Structure 1
Amino acid sequence: MQALRHYFRSPPAVIGLLLLLVVVAMALSAGFLFPRDPLALAGRPLVWPLQNPRFWLGTDNSGRDIAAQIFYGARISLLIGLVATLVAVAIGVVIGAIAGFYGGRVDTVLMRITEAFQTLPNFIFLLVLVAVFGSNLTTVTIAIGVVSWPAPARLTRAEFLSLRNREFVQAAKTLGVRDVGLIFREILPNALPPIVVYASVVMAVSILLESALAFLKLSDPNVASWGNLIGLGRDVLRVQWYVAAIPGVAILVTVLAVSLVGQGLNDAFNPRLKGRG
Protein backbone atom coordinates (compact mmCIF):
# COMPACT_ATOMS: atom_id res chain seq x y z
CA MET A 1 0.00 0.00 0.00
CA GLN A 2 2.85 2.38 0.76
CA ALA A 3 4.37 1.78 -2.67
CA LEU A 4 0.95 2.45 -4.22
CA ARG A 5 0.70 5.78 -2.39
CA HIS A 6 4.18 6.73 -3.55
CA TYR A 7 3.19 5.88 -7.12
CA PHE A 8 0.07 8.06 -7.20
CA ARG A 9 1.93 10.99 -5.66
CA SER A 10 3.96 11.25 -8.88
CA PRO A 11 2.13 13.25 -11.61
CA PRO A 12 4.25 11.78 -14.47
CA ALA A 13 3.51 8.26 -13.23
CA VAL A 14 -0.24 8.98 -13.10
CA ILE A 15 -0.14 10.54 -16.58
CA GLY A 16 1.71 7.48 -17.88
CA LEU A 17 -0.87 5.16 -16.33
CA LEU A 18 -3.75 7.14 -17.84
CA LEU A 19 -2.12 7.10 -21.29
CA LEU A 20 -1.52 3.37 -21.01
CA LEU A 21 -5.15 2.81 -20.00
CA VAL A 22 -6.23 4.76 -23.10
CA VAL A 23 -4.13 2.46 -25.30
CA VAL A 24 -5.57 -0.60 -23.54
CA ALA A 25 -9.10 0.78 -24.04
CA MET A 26 -8.36 1.23 -27.75
CA ALA A 27 -7.21 -2.38 -27.98
CA LEU A 28 -10.28 -3.68 -26.16
CA SER A 29 -12.78 -1.58 -28.12
CA ALA A 30 -11.30 -2.20 -31.58
CA GLY A 31 -13.66 -5.05 -32.45
CA PHE A 32 -16.71 -3.11 -31.25
CA LEU A 33 -15.90 0.17 -33.00
CA PHE A 34 -14.53 -1.41 -36.18
CA PRO A 35 -16.21 -4.80 -36.71
CA ARG A 36 -14.80 -5.20 -40.23
CA ASP A 37 -11.34 -6.46 -41.09
CA PRO A 38 -9.02 -3.46 -40.55
CA LEU A 39 -7.00 -4.50 -43.61
CA ALA A 40 -10.07 -4.61 -45.89
CA LEU A 41 -10.52 -1.87 -48.50
CA ALA A 42 -12.91 0.72 -47.10
CA GLY A 43 -12.91 3.69 -49.47
CA ARG A 44 -10.92 5.91 -51.78
CA PRO A 45 -7.15 5.85 -51.19
CA LEU A 46 -5.39 8.70 -49.39
CA VAL A 47 -8.39 10.50 -47.95
CA TRP A 48 -7.15 13.14 -45.50
CA PRO A 49 -8.27 13.04 -41.84
CA LEU A 50 -11.68 14.69 -41.20
CA GLN A 51 -12.29 14.99 -44.95
CA ASN A 52 -14.81 12.15 -44.85
CA PRO A 53 -16.83 11.53 -41.65
CA ARG A 54 -16.58 7.78 -42.24
CA PHE A 55 -12.78 7.93 -41.99
CA TRP A 56 -11.97 10.42 -39.25
CA LEU A 57 -8.25 9.58 -39.46
CA GLY A 58 -8.29 9.20 -43.24
CA THR A 59 -7.32 6.26 -45.43
CA ASP A 60 -3.96 4.85 -46.46
CA ASN A 61 -2.43 4.16 -49.89
CA SER A 62 -4.80 1.24 -50.51
CA GLY A 63 -7.98 2.85 -49.19
CA ARG A 64 -7.97 1.13 -45.77
CA ASP A 65 -9.31 2.93 -42.71
CA ILE A 66 -6.39 4.33 -40.70
CA ALA A 67 -8.45 4.62 -37.51
CA ALA A 68 -9.28 0.91 -37.64
CA GLN A 69 -5.62 0.05 -38.13
CA ILE A 70 -4.63 2.30 -35.21
CA PHE A 71 -7.10 0.64 -32.85
CA TYR A 72 -6.25 -2.90 -33.96
CA GLY A 73 -2.57 -1.95 -33.97
CA ALA A 74 -2.86 -1.20 -30.25
CA ARG A 75 -3.71 -4.88 -29.76
CA ILE A 76 -0.66 -5.99 -31.74
CA SER A 77 1.73 -3.62 -29.98
CA LEU A 78 0.52 -4.52 -26.49
CA LEU A 79 0.51 -8.24 -27.31
CA ILE A 80 4.03 -8.14 -28.70
CA GLY A 81 5.25 -5.98 -25.83
CA LEU A 82 3.78 -8.20 -23.13
CA VAL A 83 4.70 -11.59 -24.60
CA ALA A 84 8.22 -10.55 -25.64
CA THR A 85 8.77 -9.10 -22.16
CA LEU A 86 7.60 -12.31 -20.52
CA VAL A 87 9.95 -14.35 -22.71
CA ALA A 88 12.91 -12.05 -22.05
CA VAL A 89 12.30 -11.84 -18.29
CA ALA A 90 11.72 -15.59 -17.96
CA ILE A 91 14.99 -16.44 -19.71
CA GLY A 92 16.88 -13.68 -17.92
CA VAL A 93 15.57 -14.57 -14.47
CA VAL A 94 16.46 -18.25 -14.80
CA ILE A 95 19.97 -17.60 -16.09
CA GLY A 96 20.64 -14.70 -13.72
CA ALA A 97 19.26 -16.59 -10.71
CA ILE A 98 21.41 -19.65 -11.35
CA ALA A 99 24.52 -17.53 -11.97
CA GLY A 100 23.99 -15.36 -8.90
CA PHE A 101 23.03 -18.20 -6.57
CA TYR A 102 25.83 -20.65 -7.37
CA GLY A 103 28.60 -18.21 -8.34
CA GLY A 104 32.04 -19.60 -9.21
CA ARG A 105 32.42 -21.42 -12.50
CA VAL A 106 28.67 -21.56 -13.12
CA ASP A 107 28.50 -17.77 -12.82
CA THR A 108 31.54 -17.32 -15.06
CA VAL A 109 30.19 -19.55 -17.84
CA LEU A 110 26.70 -18.06 -17.81
CA MET A 111 27.97 -14.49 -17.74
CA ARG A 112 30.33 -15.18 -20.65
CA ILE A 113 27.33 -16.47 -22.61
CA THR A 114 25.37 -13.35 -21.63
CA GLU A 115 28.22 -11.09 -22.71
CA ALA A 116 28.45 -12.95 -26.02
CA PHE A 117 24.78 -12.14 -26.68
CA GLN A 118 25.33 -8.52 -25.67
CA THR A 119 28.18 -8.04 -28.13
CA LEU A 120 25.66 -8.28 -30.97
CA PRO A 121 23.38 -5.25 -31.40
CA ASN A 122 19.82 -6.29 -30.57
CA PHE A 123 18.37 -5.21 -33.89
CA ILE A 124 21.04 -6.93 -36.00
CA PHE A 125 20.54 -10.16 -34.05
CA LEU A 126 16.78 -9.77 -34.47
CA LEU A 127 17.16 -9.37 -38.24
CA VAL A 128 19.16 -12.61 -38.36
CA LEU A 129 16.52 -14.52 -36.38
CA VAL A 130 13.69 -13.20 -38.54
CA ALA A 131 15.62 -14.02 -41.72
CA VAL A 132 16.22 -17.59 -40.54
CA PHE A 133 12.91 -18.46 -38.86
CA GLY A 134 10.40 -16.29 -40.74
CA SER A 135 8.45 -13.12 -40.06
CA ASN A 136 5.05 -14.25 -38.80
CA LEU A 137 3.77 -12.59 -35.64
CA THR A 138 4.62 -15.47 -33.30
CA THR A 139 8.18 -15.79 -34.57
CA VAL A 140 8.79 -12.04 -34.41
CA THR A 141 7.46 -11.84 -30.84
CA ILE A 142 9.58 -14.73 -29.58
CA ALA A 143 12.64 -13.41 -31.45
CA ILE A 144 12.28 -10.02 -29.75
CA GLY A 145 12.13 -11.77 -26.38
CA VAL A 146 15.20 -13.87 -27.21
CA VAL A 147 17.34 -10.84 -28.07
CA SER A 148 16.18 -8.92 -24.96
CA TRP A 149 17.05 -11.33 -22.11
CA PRO A 150 20.71 -10.39 -21.29
CA ALA A 151 19.88 -7.18 -19.38
CA PRO A 152 17.27 -8.85 -17.11
CA ALA A 153 19.76 -11.70 -16.56
CA ARG A 154 22.48 -9.33 -15.34
CA LEU A 155 20.03 -7.48 -13.12
CA THR A 156 18.75 -10.73 -11.60
CA ARG A 157 22.31 -11.95 -11.01
CA ALA A 158 23.18 -8.73 -9.18
CA GLU A 159 20.13 -9.06 -6.94
CA PHE A 160 20.89 -12.70 -6.15
CA LEU A 161 24.52 -11.90 -5.31
CA SER A 162 23.33 -9.34 -2.76
CA LEU A 163 20.64 -11.60 -1.26
CA ARG A 164 22.08 -15.11 -1.24
CA ASN A 165 23.99 -14.63 2.03
CA ARG A 166 21.19 -12.88 3.95
CA GLU A 167 19.98 -14.30 7.25
CA PHE A 168 16.65 -15.57 5.93
CA VAL A 169 18.43 -17.57 3.22
CA GLN A 170 20.87 -19.08 5.71
CA ALA A 171 17.97 -19.94 8.01
CA ALA A 172 16.19 -21.73 5.16
CA LYS A 173 19.37 -23.67 4.38
CA THR A 174 19.59 -24.73 8.02
CA LEU A 175 16.02 -26.04 7.80
CA GLY A 176 17.02 -28.20 4.83
CA VAL A 177 15.37 -26.26 2.02
CA ARG A 178 16.78 -27.38 -1.33
CA ASP A 179 18.43 -25.10 -3.86
CA VAL A 180 15.32 -24.84 -6.04
CA GLY A 181 13.27 -23.76 -3.04
CA LEU A 182 15.92 -21.27 -1.97
CA ILE A 183 16.05 -19.75 -5.45
CA PHE A 184 12.36 -19.53 -6.27
CA ARG A 185 10.67 -19.31 -2.86
CA GLU A 186 13.17 -17.42 -0.72
CA ILE A 187 15.38 -15.21 -2.88
CA LEU A 188 13.41 -14.53 -6.08
CA PRO A 189 10.39 -12.85 -4.40
CA ASN A 190 12.78 -10.40 -2.74
CA ALA A 191 14.63 -9.79 -6.02
CA LEU A 192 11.50 -9.16 -8.11
CA PRO A 193 10.79 -5.41 -7.57
CA PRO A 194 13.73 -4.08 -9.67
CA ILE A 195 13.10 -6.81 -12.26
CA VAL A 196 9.44 -5.79 -12.55
CA VAL A 197 10.50 -2.16 -12.96
CA TYR A 198 13.00 -3.05 -15.68
CA ALA A 199 10.34 -5.09 -17.47
CA SER A 200 8.74 -1.79 -18.50
CA VAL A 201 11.96 -0.89 -20.32
CA VAL A 202 11.95 -4.25 -22.11
CA MET A 203 8.31 -3.75 -23.11
CA ALA A 204 8.94 -0.28 -24.54
CA VAL A 205 11.96 -1.50 -26.49
CA SER A 206 10.00 -4.52 -27.76
CA ILE A 207 7.31 -2.26 -29.23
CA LEU A 208 9.98 -0.16 -30.94
CA LEU A 209 11.80 -3.21 -32.31
CA GLU A 210 8.63 -4.62 -33.86
CA SER A 211 7.80 -1.23 -35.36
CA ALA A 212 11.30 -1.01 -36.85
CA LEU A 213 10.94 -4.48 -38.36
CA ALA A 214 7.54 -3.62 -39.80
CA PHE A 215 8.86 -0.35 -41.20
CA LEU A 216 11.47 -2.41 -43.09
CA LYS A 217 8.69 -4.79 -44.24
CA LEU A 218 10.24 -7.65 -42.24
CA SER A 219 7.35 -8.15 -39.83
CA ASP A 220 4.05 -9.94 -40.42
CA PRO A 221 2.24 -8.08 -43.25
CA ASN A 222 -1.07 -9.80 -42.44
CA VAL A 223 -1.73 -7.88 -39.23
CA ALA A 224 -2.75 -4.27 -38.62
CA SER A 225 0.53 -3.05 -37.17
CA TRP A 226 1.54 0.54 -36.51
CA GLY A 227 4.94 -0.21 -38.01
CA ASN A 228 3.35 -1.60 -41.18
CA LEU A 229 1.29 1.56 -41.51
CA ILE A 230 4.38 3.75 -41.12
CA GLY A 231 6.08 1.66 -43.80
CA LEU A 232 3.18 2.34 -46.16
CA GLY A 233 3.30 6.03 -45.35
CA ARG A 234 6.97 6.19 -46.28
CA ASP A 235 6.02 5.99 -49.97
CA VAL A 236 3.80 9.10 -49.75
CA LEU A 237 5.60 10.93 -46.96
CA ARG A 238 6.12 14.20 -48.86
CA VAL A 239 2.48 14.65 -49.79
CA GLN A 240 0.25 12.57 -47.50
CA TRP A 241 2.48 12.73 -44.41
CA TYR A 242 -0.41 11.89 -42.07
CA VAL A 243 -0.28 8.19 -43.10
CA ALA A 244 3.05 7.80 -41.33
CA ALA A 245 2.60 10.53 -38.71
CA ILE A 246 -0.56 9.14 -37.05
CA PRO A 247 0.85 5.68 -36.23
CA GLY A 248 4.12 7.37 -35.28
CA VAL A 249 2.28 9.40 -32.65
CA ALA A 250 0.55 6.22 -31.43
CA ILE A 251 3.92 4.51 -30.96
CA LEU A 252 5.34 7.59 -29.23
CA VAL A 253 2.42 7.81 -26.80
CA THR A 254 2.52 4.10 -25.98
CA VAL A 255 6.27 3.96 -25.41
CA LEU A 256 6.09 7.17 -23.35
CA ALA A 257 3.25 5.72 -21.26
CA VAL A 258 5.12 2.48 -20.56
CA SER A 259 8.29 4.41 -19.69
CA LEU A 260 6.46 6.75 -17.31
CA VAL A 261 4.75 3.81 -15.61
CA GLY A 262 8.12 2.09 -15.24
CA GLN A 263 9.68 5.22 -13.77
CA GLY A 264 6.74 5.57 -11.41
CA LEU A 265 7.17 1.98 -10.24
CA ASN A 266 10.87 2.60 -9.73
CA ASP A 267 10.15 5.64 -7.57
CA ALA A 268 7.46 3.74 -5.65
CA PHE A 269 9.70 0.77 -4.90
CA ASN A 270 12.75 2.96 -4.20
CA PRO A 271 11.48 6.16 -2.57
CA ARG A 272 14.89 6.83 -1.01
CA LEU A 273 16.53 6.92 -4.44
CA LYS A 274 13.93 9.42 -5.57
CA GLY A 275 14.63 11.60 -2.56
CA ARG A 276 18.37 11.57 -3.29
CA GLY A 277 17.75 12.69 -6.87
Structure 2
Amino acid sequence: MLTLFLDFARRFARNRAALAGLGLVFVVIGVAIAAPWWFPRPPLRIVGRAEIWPFVNSRFPLGTDSLGRDIAAMIAYGARTTLLIGLFASLTATSIGITIGATAAYLGGWVDEMLMRVTELFQTIPNLIFVLTIVAILGQKIEYVTIAVGIVSWTPIARLTRAEFLALRDREFVQACRSMGMGSLRIMFGEILPNALPPVIVLSSLVIAGAVLYESAVSFLGLGDPNVPSWGRLIGDGRTLIRTSWYICAVPGAAIMLTVLALNLVGDGLNDALNPKLRDR
Protein backbone atom coordinates (compact mmCIF):
# COMPACT_ATOMS: atom_id res chain seq x y z
CA MET A 1 0.00 0.00 0.00
CA LEU A 2 2.83 2.38 0.88
CA THR A 3 4.57 1.55 -2.40
CA LEU A 4 1.42 2.40 -4.37
CA PHE A 5 1.06 5.71 -2.54
CA LEU A 6 4.71 6.64 -3.13
CA ASP A 7 4.35 5.76 -6.81
CA PHE A 8 1.22 7.93 -7.03
CA ALA A 9 2.97 10.82 -5.25
CA ARG A 10 5.96 10.57 -7.60
CA ARG A 11 3.78 10.73 -10.69
CA PHE A 12 1.70 13.57 -9.27
CA ALA A 13 4.85 15.54 -8.40
CA ARG A 14 5.95 15.48 -12.05
CA ASN A 15 3.25 18.03 -12.79
CA ARG A 16 4.56 21.28 -11.33
CA ALA A 17 1.35 23.14 -12.09
CA ALA A 18 -0.56 20.54 -10.10
CA LEU A 19 1.82 21.00 -7.17
CA ALA A 20 1.26 24.76 -7.30
CA GLY A 21 -2.49 24.17 -7.39
CA LEU A 22 -2.28 21.81 -4.43
CA GLY A 23 -0.28 24.38 -2.49
CA LEU A 24 -2.90 27.03 -3.22
CA VAL A 25 -5.68 24.67 -2.10
CA PHE A 26 -3.83 24.13 1.18
CA VAL A 27 -3.59 27.91 1.59
CA VAL A 28 -7.36 28.25 1.16
CA ILE A 29 -7.93 25.41 3.64
CA GLY A 30 -5.55 27.06 6.11
CA VAL A 31 -7.36 30.40 5.80
CA ALA A 32 -10.70 28.67 6.36
CA ILE A 33 -9.45 26.85 9.47
CA ALA A 34 -7.75 29.92 10.95
CA ALA A 35 -10.69 32.27 10.32
CA PRO A 36 -12.11 32.15 13.91
CA TRP A 37 -8.68 32.98 15.38
CA TRP A 38 -7.89 35.78 12.96
CA PHE A 39 -11.36 37.31 13.06
CA PRO A 40 -13.10 36.41 16.35
CA ARG A 41 -15.98 38.79 15.66
CA PRO A 42 -18.95 37.70 13.51
CA PRO A 43 -17.92 38.24 9.86
CA LEU A 44 -21.23 39.91 8.90
CA ARG A 45 -20.98 42.50 11.68
CA ILE A 46 -20.51 46.18 10.79
CA VAL A 47 -17.10 47.10 12.19
CA GLY A 48 -16.09 50.37 10.52
CA ARG A 49 -16.80 53.07 8.01
CA ALA A 50 -18.23 52.00 4.68
CA GLU A 51 -16.05 51.66 1.55
CA ILE A 52 -12.59 51.83 3.09
CA TRP A 53 -10.19 50.91 0.32
CA PRO A 54 -7.68 48.04 0.76
CA PHE A 55 -4.37 48.85 2.47
CA VAL A 56 -5.63 52.23 3.69
CA ASN A 57 -6.50 51.14 7.25
CA SER A 58 -4.38 48.45 8.94
CA ARG A 59 -7.45 47.17 10.79
CA PHE A 60 -9.05 46.28 7.47
CA PRO A 61 -6.28 45.07 5.11
CA LEU A 62 -8.75 44.29 2.30
CA GLY A 63 -11.03 47.23 3.05
CA THR A 64 -14.72 47.33 3.96
CA ASP A 65 -17.84 46.88 1.87
CA SER A 66 -20.77 49.23 1.33
CA LEU A 67 -22.11 48.49 4.83
CA GLY A 68 -18.81 48.74 6.70
CA ARG A 69 -18.16 45.01 7.07
CA ASP A 70 -14.58 43.69 7.02
CA ILE A 71 -13.92 42.14 3.60
CA ALA A 72 -10.95 40.12 4.88
CA ALA A 73 -13.16 38.48 7.51
CA MET A 74 -15.82 37.66 4.95
CA ILE A 75 -13.20 36.22 2.59
CA ALA A 76 -11.80 34.00 5.35
CA TYR A 77 -15.19 32.75 6.52
CA GLY A 78 -16.42 32.53 2.94
CA ALA A 79 -13.59 30.07 2.24
CA ARG A 80 -15.24 27.72 4.74
CA THR A 81 -18.57 27.98 2.94
CA THR A 82 -16.95 27.47 -0.45
CA LEU A 83 -14.92 24.40 0.56
CA LEU A 84 -17.74 22.73 2.48
CA ILE A 85 -20.25 23.16 -0.35
CA GLY A 86 -17.69 22.02 -2.93
CA LEU A 87 -16.67 18.93 -0.94
CA PHE A 88 -20.13 17.74 0.07
CA ALA A 89 -21.68 18.54 -3.31
CA SER A 90 -18.94 16.47 -4.95
CA LEU A 91 -19.59 13.59 -2.52
CA THR A 92 -23.32 13.78 -3.27
CA ALA A 93 -22.78 13.83 -7.03
CA THR A 94 -20.21 11.02 -6.87
CA SER A 95 -22.48 8.80 -4.77
CA ILE A 96 -25.43 9.28 -7.13
CA GLY A 97 -23.32 8.94 -10.27
CA ILE A 98 -21.50 5.77 -9.17
CA THR A 99 -24.73 4.10 -8.04
CA ILE A 100 -26.59 4.83 -11.27
CA GLY A 101 -23.67 4.18 -13.61
CA ALA A 102 -22.64 0.93 -11.94
CA THR A 103 -26.20 -0.40 -11.79
CA ALA A 104 -26.87 0.47 -15.43
CA ALA A 105 -23.70 -1.17 -16.74
CA TYR A 106 -23.75 -4.29 -14.57
CA LEU A 107 -27.43 -5.19 -15.00
CA GLY A 108 -27.72 -4.03 -18.62
CA GLY A 109 -30.89 -4.54 -20.64
CA TRP A 110 -33.92 -2.44 -19.86
CA VAL A 111 -32.36 -1.21 -16.60
CA ASP A 112 -29.41 0.26 -18.51
CA GLU A 113 -31.73 1.78 -21.10
CA MET A 114 -34.00 3.39 -18.50
CA LEU A 115 -31.21 4.79 -16.34
CA MET A 116 -29.36 6.23 -19.33
CA ARG A 117 -32.53 7.93 -20.57
CA VAL A 118 -32.96 9.46 -17.10
CA THR A 119 -29.33 10.62 -17.23
CA GLU A 120 -29.86 12.20 -20.65
CA LEU A 121 -33.01 13.90 -19.38
CA PHE A 122 -31.02 15.55 -16.57
CA GLN A 123 -28.38 16.64 -19.08
CA THR A 124 -30.94 18.50 -21.20
CA ILE A 125 -31.84 20.82 -18.30
CA PRO A 126 -29.58 23.91 -17.95
CA ASN A 127 -27.64 23.24 -14.75
CA LEU A 128 -27.73 26.74 -13.28
CA ILE A 129 -31.46 27.10 -13.85
CA PHE A 130 -31.98 23.66 -12.27
CA VAL A 131 -29.93 24.67 -9.22
CA LEU A 132 -31.86 27.93 -8.82
CA THR A 133 -35.17 26.08 -9.12
CA ILE A 134 -34.25 23.52 -6.46
CA VAL A 135 -33.02 26.22 -4.07
CA ALA A 136 -36.14 28.30 -4.66
CA ILE A 137 -38.31 25.28 -3.80
CA LEU A 138 -36.35 23.87 -0.83
CA GLY A 139 -35.08 27.11 0.67
CA GLN A 140 -31.90 29.17 0.91
CA LYS A 141 -30.08 27.19 3.60
CA ILE A 142 -26.54 26.07 2.86
CA GLU A 143 -27.61 22.41 3.10
CA TYR A 144 -30.15 22.86 0.31
CA VAL A 145 -27.65 24.67 -1.90
CA THR A 146 -25.25 21.74 -1.45
CA ILE A 147 -27.94 19.20 -2.32
CA ALA A 148 -28.99 21.21 -5.38
CA VAL A 149 -25.43 21.42 -6.72
CA GLY A 150 -24.91 17.69 -6.11
CA ILE A 151 -28.13 16.80 -7.94
CA VAL A 152 -27.13 18.66 -11.12
CA SER A 153 -23.51 17.42 -11.15
CA TRP A 154 -23.85 13.62 -11.12
CA THR A 155 -24.54 12.91 -14.79
CA PRO A 156 -20.91 12.98 -16.12
CA ILE A 157 -19.84 10.72 -13.25
CA ALA A 158 -22.66 8.27 -14.03
CA ARG A 159 -21.68 8.05 -17.70
CA LEU A 160 -17.99 7.61 -16.89
CA THR A 161 -18.72 4.94 -14.27
CA ARG A 162 -20.94 3.08 -16.74
CA ALA A 163 -18.18 3.12 -19.36
CA GLU A 164 -15.63 1.77 -16.87
CA PHE A 165 -18.00 -0.96 -15.66
CA LEU A 166 -18.80 -2.01 -19.23
CA ALA A 167 -15.07 -2.45 -19.86
CA LEU A 168 -14.57 -4.49 -16.68
CA ARG A 169 -17.73 -6.54 -16.14
CA ASP A 170 -16.66 -9.41 -18.43
CA ARG A 171 -13.04 -9.58 -17.31
CA GLU A 172 -11.62 -12.83 -15.93
CA PHE A 173 -11.60 -11.75 -12.29
CA VAL A 174 -15.30 -10.84 -12.48
CA GLN A 175 -16.18 -14.18 -14.05
CA ALA A 176 -14.19 -15.91 -11.31
CA CYS A 177 -16.21 -14.04 -8.67
CA ARG A 178 -19.47 -15.13 -10.31
CA SER A 179 -18.31 -18.74 -10.43
CA MET A 180 -17.56 -18.55 -6.70
CA GLY A 181 -21.16 -17.52 -6.04
CA MET A 182 -20.55 -13.91 -5.01
CA GLY A 183 -23.60 -11.64 -4.95
CA SER A 184 -24.06 -8.88 -7.49
CA LEU A 185 -23.61 -6.06 -4.97
CA ARG A 186 -20.37 -7.54 -3.68
CA ILE A 187 -19.02 -7.95 -7.21
CA MET A 188 -20.10 -4.43 -8.25
CA PHE A 189 -18.83 -2.48 -5.28
CA GLY A 190 -16.19 -4.82 -3.89
CA GLU A 191 -14.45 -6.03 -7.04
CA ILE A 192 -15.27 -3.86 -10.09
CA LEU A 193 -15.61 -0.44 -8.45
CA PRO A 194 -12.04 -0.31 -6.99
CA ASN A 195 -10.69 -0.89 -10.51
CA ALA A 196 -13.00 1.76 -11.99
CA LEU A 197 -12.33 4.45 -9.37
CA PRO A 198 -9.21 6.29 -10.72
CA PRO A 199 -10.94 8.22 -13.54
CA VAL A 200 -13.99 8.77 -11.33
CA ILE A 201 -11.78 10.35 -8.66
CA VAL A 202 -10.33 12.73 -11.25
CA LEU A 203 -13.79 13.79 -12.41
CA SER A 204 -15.01 14.18 -8.82
CA SER A 205 -12.19 16.61 -8.11
CA LEU A 206 -13.37 18.73 -11.05
CA VAL A 207 -16.93 18.63 -9.72
CA ILE A 208 -15.66 20.48 -6.63
CA ALA A 209 -14.48 23.34 -8.84
CA GLY A 210 -17.84 23.41 -10.60
CA ALA A 211 -19.64 23.42 -7.26
CA VAL A 212 -17.67 26.51 -6.19
CA LEU A 213 -18.88 28.33 -9.30
CA TYR A 214 -22.49 27.21 -8.83
CA GLU A 215 -22.52 28.33 -5.20
CA SER A 216 -21.04 31.69 -6.16
CA ALA A 217 -23.65 32.17 -8.88
CA VAL A 218 -26.52 31.25 -6.52
CA SER A 219 -25.24 33.64 -3.84
CA PHE A 220 -24.61 36.37 -6.39
CA LEU A 221 -28.26 36.18 -7.43
CA GLY A 222 -29.35 36.48 -3.80
CA LEU A 223 -30.56 32.88 -3.32
CA GLY A 224 -27.75 31.78 -1.01
CA ASP A 225 -27.97 31.48 2.76
CA PRO A 226 -28.16 35.11 4.04
CA ASN A 227 -26.70 34.11 7.41
CA VAL A 228 -23.50 32.66 5.94
CA PRO A 229 -20.69 34.78 4.41
CA SER A 230 -20.12 33.92 0.78
CA TRP A 231 -17.77 35.15 -1.93
CA GLY A 232 -20.60 35.23 -4.46
CA ARG A 233 -22.85 37.26 -2.17
CA LEU A 234 -20.04 39.76 -1.58
CA ILE A 235 -19.71 40.23 -5.34
CA GLY A 236 -23.47 40.64 -5.61
CA ASP A 237 -23.53 43.24 -2.85
CA GLY A 238 -20.75 45.24 -4.51
CA ARG A 239 -21.98 45.15 -8.10
CA THR A 240 -23.90 48.43 -7.74
CA LEU A 241 -20.66 50.17 -6.68
CA ILE A 242 -18.41 48.65 -9.32
CA ARG A 243 -17.61 52.06 -10.87
CA THR A 244 -16.57 53.72 -7.61
CA SER A 245 -15.50 50.86 -5.30
CA TRP A 246 -14.64 48.08 -7.71
CA TYR A 247 -12.41 46.33 -5.16
CA ILE A 248 -15.54 45.01 -3.35
CA CYS A 249 -16.17 42.77 -6.39
CA ALA A 250 -12.54 42.28 -7.39
CA VAL A 251 -11.30 40.77 -4.11
CA PRO A 252 -13.83 37.91 -3.84
CA GLY A 253 -13.71 37.51 -7.63
CA ALA A 254 -9.97 36.89 -7.42
CA ALA A 255 -10.52 34.41 -4.57
CA ILE A 256 -13.03 32.45 -6.67
CA MET A 257 -10.78 32.51 -9.73
CA LEU A 258 -7.68 31.30 -7.87
CA THR A 259 -9.57 28.58 -5.99
CA VAL A 260 -11.22 27.18 -9.12
CA LEU A 261 -7.92 27.36 -11.01
CA ALA A 262 -6.14 25.51 -8.19
CA LEU A 263 -8.78 22.77 -8.10
CA ASN A 264 -8.57 22.30 -11.87
CA LEU A 265 -4.77 22.07 -11.70
CA VAL A 266 -5.05 19.43 -8.98
CA GLY A 267 -7.54 17.51 -11.13
CA ASP A 268 -5.08 17.63 -14.03
CA GLY A 269 -2.35 16.28 -11.75
CA LEU A 270 -4.62 13.48 -10.54
CA ASN A 271 -5.32 12.57 -14.15
CA ASP A 272 -1.60 12.36 -14.87
CA ALA A 273 -1.02 10.20 -11.78
CA LEU A 274 -4.02 7.87 -12.08
CA ASN A 275 -4.46 7.50 -15.84
CA PRO A 276 -2.44 4.45 -16.91
CA LYS A 277 -2.09 5.84 -20.46
CA LEU A 278 -0.25 8.91 -19.09
CA ARG A 279 1.93 7.30 -16.42
CA ASP A 280 5.00 7.15 -18.63
CA ARG A 281 4.46 10.50 -20.33
Deviations 1:30-80 (A, max 9, x none): 011001100001100000001111000000011000000000010000000
State yes or no: 1:7 paired with 2:33.
no
The answer to whether the Cα contact below 8 Å between 2:44 and 2:69 also exists between their aligned partners in 1 is yes
- Find the aligned partners of 1:9 and 1:180 in 2 and give their Cα distance: 37
Against the structure 1 CA distance between its residues 263 and 162, is the aligned structure 2 distance closer, same or farther, given a 3 Å change threshold?
A: same
Q: Match of 1:20?
A: 25
Give the % identical residues. 56
In structure 2, give the amino acid aligned to 1:99.
Answer: A
TM superposition shift of 1:274: 6.6
TM superposition shift of 1:203: 0.5
TM superposition shift of 1:2: 1.4
Deviations 1:218-275 (A, max 9, x none): 1111111000100011010001000000000000111011100010000011253376
- Find the aligned partners of 2:118 and 2:278 in 1 and give their Cα distance: 32
Q: Match of 2:238?
A: 233
The answer to whether the Cα contact below 8 Å between 2:138 and 2:144 also exists between their aligned partners in 1 is yes
- Find the aligned partners of 1:116 and 1:17 in 2 and give their Cα distance: 35
After superposition, the CA RMSD in angstroms is 1.0
- Find the aligned partners of 2:136 and 2:74 in 1 and give their Cα distance: 26
- What is the SS of the residue equivalent to 2:242? coil
- Find the aligned partners of 1:274 and 1:190 in 2 and give their Cα distance: 16
Q: Counterparts of 1:105-254 in structure 2 under 5 Å?
A: 105-254=110-259
In structure 1, give the amino acid aligned to 2:264.
Answer: S
Q: Match of 1:62?
A: 67
- Runs of at least 5 residues in structure 2 that lack an aligned partner in the other structure: 1-5
TM superposition shift of 1:135: 1.3
The answer to whether the Cα contact below 8 Å between 2:198 and 2:275 also exists between their aligned partners in 1 is no
TM superposition shift of 1:102: 0.9
TM superposition shift of 1:134: 1.2
In structure 1, give the amino acid aligned to 2:250.
Answer: A
Structure 2 length-normalised TM: 0.96
- Find the aligned partners of 1:134 and 1:224 in 2 and give their Cα distance: 17
- Find the aligned partners of 2:176 and 2:12 in 1 and give their Cα distance: 33
Q: Match of 1:35?
A: 40
The answer to whether the Cα contact below 8 Å between 1:41 and 1:63 also exists between their aligned partners in 2 is yes
- What is the SS of the residue equivalent to 1:221? coil
- Find the aligned partners of 1:271 and 1:97 in 2 and give their Cα distance: 21
- What is the SS of the residue equivalent to 2:218? helix
Stretches of 4+ aligned residues off by more than 4 angstroms = none
- Runs of at least 5 residues in structure 1 that lack an aligned partner in the other structure: none
The answer to whether the Cα contact below 8 Å between 1:6 and 1:271 also exists between their aligned partners in 2 is no
Structure 1 length-normalised TM: 0.98
Q: Count residues in correspondence.
A: 276
Deviations 1:105-132 (A, max 9, x none): 1100000000000000111111111121
In structure 1, give the amino acid aligned to 2:67.
Answer: S
